Amino acid sequence: MNILNKRFETLHGTAPFSKIKASDFLPAFKTAIANSKATITKICVNTDAPSFKNTIVALEFASLELERISSLFFNLNAAETNQEIQQIAQQVSPLLAEFSNDVALNEVLFGKIKIVFEQKETLSLSEEEKQLLLKKYKSFSRNGALLDNSDKAKLREIDKSLSSLKLTFGEHLLAETNRFELNIKEESELDGLPEDEKEAAKLRAEKKEKEGWIISLDYPSYVPFMTYAKNRNLREKLACAFGKKGFQNDNLDNQELVLNISKLRHQRANLLGYKTHAHYVLEERMAKTPETVAQFLSDLLSKATPFAQKEFETLSAFARKTDGIEKLQKWDNAYYSELLKKQCFEIDDAQLKPYFKLENVIDGAFQIAKKLFGLQFEKTAQIDVYHDDVVTYKVLDEASNLVAVFYADFFPRQGKRSGAWMTSFKPQYVLNGQNERPHVSIVCNFTKPTKTKPSLLTFNEVTTLFHEFGHALHGMLANTTYPSLSGTSVAWDFVELPSQLMENWCYEKDALSLFAKHYKTGELIPMAWIEKLKAVGKFQQGMQTLRQLSFGLLDMSWHAQDPSSIENVKKHEKKVFSVTQLFPDVAENCMSTAFAHIFQGGYSSGYYSYKWAEVLDADAFAYFKSKGVFDTKISKDLKQYILSKGGTEDPHILYERFRGKAASNKALLERAGLL
């Protein structure tokens, strides 16, 4: 029997990665789909009257095996892919889309769900059960169950096409990132780059058996070069390469994919009775409508723009005075911002990095989780991993009960997509009286240790780690009955609250004193620097806010209107960016063709949610600050009302129960210095 279709007889039922072969996946998917179909058929042919238990609960657990295999496979496709896995993904995705449609368009099944749904007032259900019933009913009504047969067939075709197009978009992006390299032969061309970054670039070249130094488009290589390298021509070359991913009119071009994905999403929404894709998506979010999102973005835009313009003028004047730069370009932004920041605050990333050794930062995150939620993290070598870089931990509560299994994967490599994310290999749920604990993972791309130095993080990377760890805590502390309502299975404009909230501790003296210690001397980060860090937190917040808003506006421009009249991706994008533009446009660059969040990931019509959740996180942290950043009552309430609850209740209700009131954007504007 295929290893993937069997129960894993391992510590805590973790995935036996070293025993799984890529070739196991396709047959395992086919078996799991067949098993799910058989279970669903049993629900359909059951002659007992449809009930919450024999219909809704039975359906909730009908595809656990398939969901487990999907989690393993698609997480590997993101973090440790290769040509074989990518080919399997292209075969599997249409199968999964078809199965999903088979379920969503099953008239007998929907008929039974509808009977239970119409009896909901008489069933004495708990809040969680009500939420599950509503979610199941909507998953059918919102996915074609009410369509006639002709439209159901159209929906199947659209979903099949979309699953394939999104995969191809991501594959192109990864191939684009991997194929470019800046091979520098003269050390003078690295002028300005810190020694550890030079060493990392040297190591990159050695691995490829090349002379000199290699700068790649992976973030740990790209960002430091753009921030520190004095050679403006090379910064321009690198920035242009980064900005034209998927926009080179070749076999990896994503323009046609962007147009097709957005048009198919619109057609799908229309078919289901919605005006646009955004109307369809937002019905299930806190924001509810595109109009609310437009108002939200517009309000922040009006407040941030004057600050952003003033900051841009200051930066332009500084570059002119420093190096005679007459017109500031995009490839000048990080470099002169870093110089200006250093001048204003007498602090920079190069000074800070020695205090942020990766292992110390991880330990700091663990200590903070212990202070807030009583969690203990025990490193273990007993859990199998998919790559040698991955480290595993058992997460225990104060009574040493297992809370979760935690995987951490921190370094870039060939088969791993860029960026940072949290994911899970298994959700938390209760089945047959057993509280099944989650297997949670965070994946980042930080600089690898070199021969002479450990992995030292920039402050931005420190906040990234805390951000993903916040998502992980949301997954770990889940305590619900049903897997589809567990952990991070919440509205997408609520899911960023725990992650963005955790970032706040990176600026607090009480938190930093736990882990910000010099990697050589063990000396604590100077306390005067912590005050500077807080001030740095407000540095160029107008420009940063404008950048975030531009992404949100671009997302809505593709999804909150009929995109069928859009013929030219670049022209469309340029028009959208005109209200947030500070730097001159670069003709050969395009954002949409590399915007994986919305064209490959799940953020279509949802990119605004980062800012939306910032309003919540600033408001929530202001509450902590009023009592103390490790206040036990507030952290207990956070765990009880938000982190453990997943999607079991409306997020507005959960937040107000935790905070005692609705959130306002005052705390966010105050924190960013935009008042």
pLDDT tens string 74-103: 999 999 999 999 999 999 999 999 999 999
- Same domain, yes or no: 457 and 373: yes
Measure the CA–CA gap between 94 and 90, rounded to whole angstroms: 7
- What is the share, in percent, of the chain residues with pLDDT greater than 90? 92
Query: Is the residue at 636 inside a domain?
Result: no
For residue 394, the SS3 value is strand
Per-chain mean pLDDT for the chain:
96
- What is the share, in percent, of the chain residues with pLDDT greater than 70? 100
How many angstroms separate the first and last alpha carbons of the chain?
A: 63
- Same domain, yes or no: 363 and 501: yes
- Count CB atoms within 10 A of the CB of residue 111: 14
- Same domain, yes or no: 419 and 452: yes
Q: What is the pLDDT of residues 465-482, one digit of tens each?
A: 999 999 999 999 999 999
* The predicted structure's pLDDT at residue 675: 81
- Count CB atoms within 10 A of the CB of residue 207: 10
Q: What is the mean pLDDT of residues 40-51?
A: 98
Whether the CB-CB separation of 193 and 224 falls below 8 Å is answered with yes
* The predicted structure's pLDDT at residue 533: 84
Q: What is the mean pLDDT of residues 41-66?
A: 98
The pair of structure tokens assigned to 445 is: 């791309």
Concerning whether 468 is annotated as a catalytic residue, the answer is: yes
- Same domain, yes or no: 592 and 473: no
Q: What is the mean pLDDT of residues 110-129?
A: 96
* The predicted structure's pLDDT at residue 38: 98
Q: State whether the Cα torsion 641-645-646-649 is positive or negative.
A: negative
Per-residue pLDDT band for 316 (boundaries 50, 70, 90) equals very high
φ, ψ (nearest 5 deg) of residue 16: -85, 70
Domain boundary, last residue among 502, 526, 550: 526
For residue 567, the SS3 value is coil
Give me the residues paired with residue 396 across strands.
376, 402
Number of domains observed in the structure of the chain: 4
Query: Is the residue at 119 inside a domain?
Result: yes
Asked if residue 623 has pLDDT above 90, the reply is yes
Q: Who's near 578: CB < 8 A, 6+ residues apart?
A: none
Query: Is the residue at 127 inside a domain?
Result: yes
- Same domain, yes or no: 293 and 429: no
Query: Is the residue at 660 inside a domain?
Result: no
- Same domain, yes or no: 418 and 497: yes
- Same domain, yes or no: 269 and 320: yes
Dihedral angle of Cα 227, 221, 418, 438, to the nearest 10 degrees: -100
* The predicted structure's pLDDT at residue 573: 97
Q: In the chain, what's the furthest Cα-to-Cα distance? A: 82
State the catalytic residue, choosing from 468, 496, 508, 573.
468
Q: What is the pLDDT of residues 628-667, one digit of tens each?
A: 999 999 999 999 999 999 999 999 999 999 999 999 888 9
- Same domain, yes or no: 459 and 589: no
* The predicted structure's pLDDT at residue 151: 96
* The predicted structure's pLDDT at residue 603: 93
- Same domain, yes or no: 371 and 504: yes
CATH of the domain at 40: 1.20.1050.40
Q: Which helix (H) or strand (E) holds 392?
A: strand 391-396
Query: Is the residue at 639 inside a domain?
Result: no
Q: What is the mean pLDDT of residues 169-180?
A: 94
Residues listed for the chain: 675
Measure the CA–CA gap between 569 and 511, rounded to whole angstroms: 45
Asked if residue 416 has pLDDT above 90, the reply is yes
* The predicted structure's pLDDT at residue 531: 86
Query: Is the residue at 674 inside a domain?
Result: no
* The predicted structure's pLDDT at residue 61: 98
* The predicted structure's pLDDT at residue 586: 97
- Same domain, yes or no: 65 and 199: no
Query: Is the residue at 67 inside a domain?
Result: yes
The domain containing residue 300 runs over which residues?
A: 257-343+541-609
CATH of the domain at 482: 1.10.1370.40
Query: Is the residue at 640 inside a domain?
Result: no
Q: What is the mean pLDDT of residues 407-432?
A: 95
- Same domain, yes or no: 363 and 511: yes
* The predicted structure's pLDDT at residue 192: 96
Asked if residue 254 has pLDDT above 90, the reply is yes
CB contact burial 185-194 (16+ within 10 A = b; e otherwise): eeeebbebbb
Q: What is the mean pLDDT of residues 192-197?
A: 92
Per-residue pLDDT band for 347 (boundaries 50, 70, 90) equals confident
Asked if residue 418 has pLDDT above 90, the reply is no
- Same domain, yes or no: 236 and 264: no
The model's pTM: 0.87
Asked if residue 220 has pLDDT above 90, the reply is no
* The predicted structure's pLDDT at residue 530: 85
**DSSP assignment letter at 448:** P
Domain boundary, last residue among 609, 633, 650: 609
CA 352 from chain center: how many Å? 26
Q: DSSP string covering 28-59, please? A: HHHHHHHHHHHHHHHHHH--SPP-IIIIIIHH
* The predicted structure's pLDDT at residue 590: 98
